Structure 1
Amino acid sequence: MGWACLECAATGRTEHAPTSADYPDTVLRRTSFVAGGGLGWKISALETPRDKPPPWKIVVITGAPSWAEYWAETMADLPQDRQMVVVDRPGYAGSEPFHVVPDIRVQAQALASVLRAAPGQKVLLVGQSYGAAIASIMAAENPGKVAGLVLLSGFFGETGPTSRWLIDVGSKALKMIPRDLRHAVMEAAGQRPQLVHARRALMQVNAPIYMVHGDKDDFAPIEVAERLARETPTRRPIQFVRTPGANHFLNDGPPEQLLSALEACIPQKRAWTFRLPRLPSFGIPRPQGVLPATARAA
């Protein structure tokens, strides 16, 4: 990821690879929307176009660096009865502003516009890594717009060995590294004092909450996420899904595995069946000498 930042800085691209070179517009396309809260920033995103709105819209708030492009392969494998929008958060890739936006509450406010859904459509909000805390605030501040919240490889202030090394080295070289990598280091280094807002938000969310985490994650330790799930009082119990052998970047693995994990977080409709009501007997004794119909038939 660091090399991708350097490569983009050298070539003038906003992302590590152009989407249009790999997928046609009928599969993936670049879109944008105006940030909420009166901020007015232009927010860039990738979306899966559909002829008509499907029942579920999956909105992904990415981590740091925030590049929707890393979700392209997963998005291309999405079934037609699902829609997905993956954002480049403020301060990254093609999104405004050009400077870092370190406050997770401002990020949540800016990204609230992406939660708009078509009539009858439900939204599954996915917060990946650093985006997990932001998505938690978005879900709490937009009740009724989020039908489910997924915290995917959530980063909650405490680093693993790899992320600790990257933040330490990056902090000493802030003036020399590319913008997106610089913003990622600044965000991760300053997140921990803000987590009180994310925890408070999780306590307010009135929708199913899922945590999906790889047990080989060396960026955001799974123990930290498990402790958060265990110690945070929520309106509904947090459902924790441990993914054996997976690292921090679940979207870098086979797309079908991640899509299957997300699909498991979408409530399935049960088949409707009609049953005749059973009438109460009221304890009335059967008259003597009257045989049941089955006995008479015999």
Structure 2
Amino acid sequence: MTILAWHRHGTVPAEGPIEALPLVLLPAFPFDASMWHDVADELDDLPVLTVDAPGFGASPALSGEPSLATYAHAVVADLAELGVQRAVFAGLSMGGYTALAIAAESPASVAGLGLLDTKAEADTDQARANRLTMAEAAEGEAGNTVALGLLETALSPITLAHRPAVVEAVRAGLEQAPAAGIAWAQRAMAARPDRRSALGMISAPALVLRGEYDTMTGAEAARHLAGSLAHVELVEIPEAGHFTHVEAPAAVAGALHALYLRAVRAL
């Protein structure tokens, strides 16, 4: 029985063990696996798995101190339960942090690595303090409203000005985020280590993707990731911000499709 809640897409069988190499999509904060709906629809010819992060969607909170390493271990253990020893892992933002944790701690399980709108650096002292403040606020009277500020910071100015349907879709997702999950995720991200030293040990095909207007991770962080990985494609999505999965799902899916094919050829 798996620890987390998993969702099957594309060519993955509806039930039973999974024999093909899957593409595993790890969600961003503060969303569950449903954030990948539009991207997964574009990848209907591939075996795709999505997962709810701990405390989000149908996944239970994990015991112990909040930790992305604990989340990563749960992902790898669950996949083994499903018959999967290796996968192409791709994550956006917090999902990217988790993918890096998997690559650092379970490298044999990584057939390909997609790092979307994310970075390898640990938080600065100020960023860490901000996360802990948000976690405390989420557990107080503010509840899940603490996440609504992402609406203005994570979407590109073009999306905010000209794509009201996308803005409302993101707003709806933020409003559904559970306060307890928000607090867990912020504490887990605040505690994550710097992963830059592990990048040179990753030999699997890799993708680094960012939105043109992603100010939350920035172009420098993306260039550092790409420059530190051996077999990497760097993709920038025009007119998108931090949430490229909803601002440009077809472009994101195309980049992930190419990564998957490179990973299969490298096996």
CA distance in 1, matches of 2:52, 2:12: 24
On the 8 A contact 2:67/2:191 being kept in 1, the answer is no
Q: CA RMSD in A?
A: 3.5
Picking from 38, 44, 53, the partner of 1:73 is: 38
Number of residues paired by the alignment?
Answer: 221
On the 8 A contact 1:90/1:100 being kept in 2, the answer is no
Matched, 1:45 2:6: yes
Summarize the alignment of residues 103-252 of structure 1 with structure 2, pairs less than 5 Å apart. Answer: 103-116=67-80, 123-155=87-119, 156-157=121-122, 170-171=134-135, 173-174=137-138, 175-176=140-141, 177-178=143-144, 180-181=178-179, 183-184=181-182, 187-188=185-186, 191=189, 194-196=192-194, 198-230=195-227, 232=228, 234=229, 236-252=230-246
Gap regions ≥5 residues in structure 2? 145-176
CA distance in 2, matches of 1:64, 1:141: 21
Gap regions ≥5 residues in structure 1? 1-32, 35-41, 271-298
- Which structure: greater helix fraction? 2
Change (3 A) 1:99 1:181: farther
On the 8 A contact 1:43/1:96 being kept in 2, the answer is yes
Matched, 1:265 2:259: yes
The structure with more radius of gyration: 1
Q: Which has the higher contact order (CA 8 A, sep 6+)?
A: 2
The normalised TM-score by structure 2 is 0.67
TM-superposed deviation, 1:241: 1.8
TM-superposed deviation, 1:194: 2.5
TM-superposed deviation, 1:167: 5.1
Picking from 47, 56, 61, the partner of 1:83 is: 47
The normalised TM-score by structure 1 is 0.61
Aligned to 2:178, the other structure's residue is in SS state helix
CA distance in 2, matches of 1:128, 1:100: 24
Q: Structure 1 vs Structure 2: percent identity of aligned residues?
A: 24
Change (3 A) 1:192 1:252: same
On the 8 A contact 2:12/2:48 being kept in 1, the answer is no
On the 8 A contact 2:9/2:44 being kept in 1, the answer is no
